[in-house]
Amino acid sequence: MAFHDHLRLAWRQSNSMLCVGLDPDPARLPPAVHGSLFEFCRTIVDATADLVCAFKPQVAYFAAAGAEADLERLCHHIRDHHPGVLLVLDAKRGDLGSTAEHYAREAFDRYAAHAVTVNPYLGGDSVAPFLQHPHGGAFVLCRTSNPGSGDFQSLVADGRPLYQHVASRVADEWQAIGDCGLVVGATYPAELATVRALAGDLPLLVPGIGAQGGDIAATVANGRDSSGYGMVVNSSRAILYASSDADFAEAARIEAQRTRDALRAR
């Protein structure tokens, strides 16, 4: 099933726009998981799967720890045990076409992701291999949630900032190659509304609530699509590290439930 179709089903089945980001920091794991990135993430996944539309493993945490085998097990666990949930690989890939084909194989064949985050800086031919892959889809970075995002994303060309050029290009051209979404941080709610206007009903992956402090009500008001869903709203640390004790799974579930409900109150 194509990425957009899968996501629409996930929204309806879960009645949730929450995505739990799986960013397992070895320095913050509860003692109960004995240092295993897989066991930590699997426990969080099983405790929250009915509350979410998506899980988003962050490759960097596994790569720094040399734990690609844990990431493989985790991704296949999600696909096997929670098949209705969207699996987004947060890899922020961006490379020349022939190289990007290898990253597409990594994301969709090795890790069985439904969609992968990609960087637009190298242009259309760097993203096409992800969209052309038979099971592929991509969330393209548009307006990110970090302080330095304005360094280049806010530069104005032809009367509008770079991130709006990215949004239009993705909606008007790249979506014709394969299913796309856009990454827009919740830390900029006004810009979320602008991107929604440019992007039609393309799904938006929205990081920046929870530990990063984005405003949930403004995010929902500005980012939803014509169906009332339209967003994959990510929270990572606030859920993963809700407790550092033996009750970390229950605490994660409570925090996930709270965030899901806040995203529903619209």
CA distances from 8 to 61, 73, 90, 257 (A): 29, 26, 20, 20
Check residue 253 for interaction with a copy of itself (CB under 8 A).
no
CA distances from 179 to 171, 189, 259 (A): 10, 24, 27
What count of other Cβ atoms lies within 10 Å of the Cβ of residue 239?
29
Helix axes 248-264, 216-223, angle to 10 degrees: 50
Instruction: Name which of residues 161 to 220 contact a copy of itself (CB under 8 A).
Output: 162, 165-166, 169
Handedness of CA 161, 165, 168, 171 (dihedral sign): negative
Check residue 79 for interaction with a copy of itself (CB under 8 A).
no
Check residue 123 for interaction with a copy of itself (CB under 8 A).
yes
How far apart are CB 116 and a copy of itself at their closest, in Å?
12
Nearer to a copy of itself, 10 or 142 (CB): 142
Check residue 19 for interaction with a copy of itself (CB under 8 A).
no
Given a contact cutoff of 8 angstroms between Cβ atoms, the answer to whether 37 and 70 are in contact is yes
Q: Choose the stretch contacting a copy of itself; rule: CB under 8 A; options: 6-14, 38-46, 155-163, 249-257.
A: 155-163
**Catalytic sites, residue numbers:** 92
Q: Which residues bind a copy of itself (CB under 8 A)?
A: 23, 58, 60-61, 63-64, 66, 68, 72, 92-97, 99-100, 102-103, 105-106, 109-110, 119-126, 141, 144-153, 155-158, 162, 165-166, 169
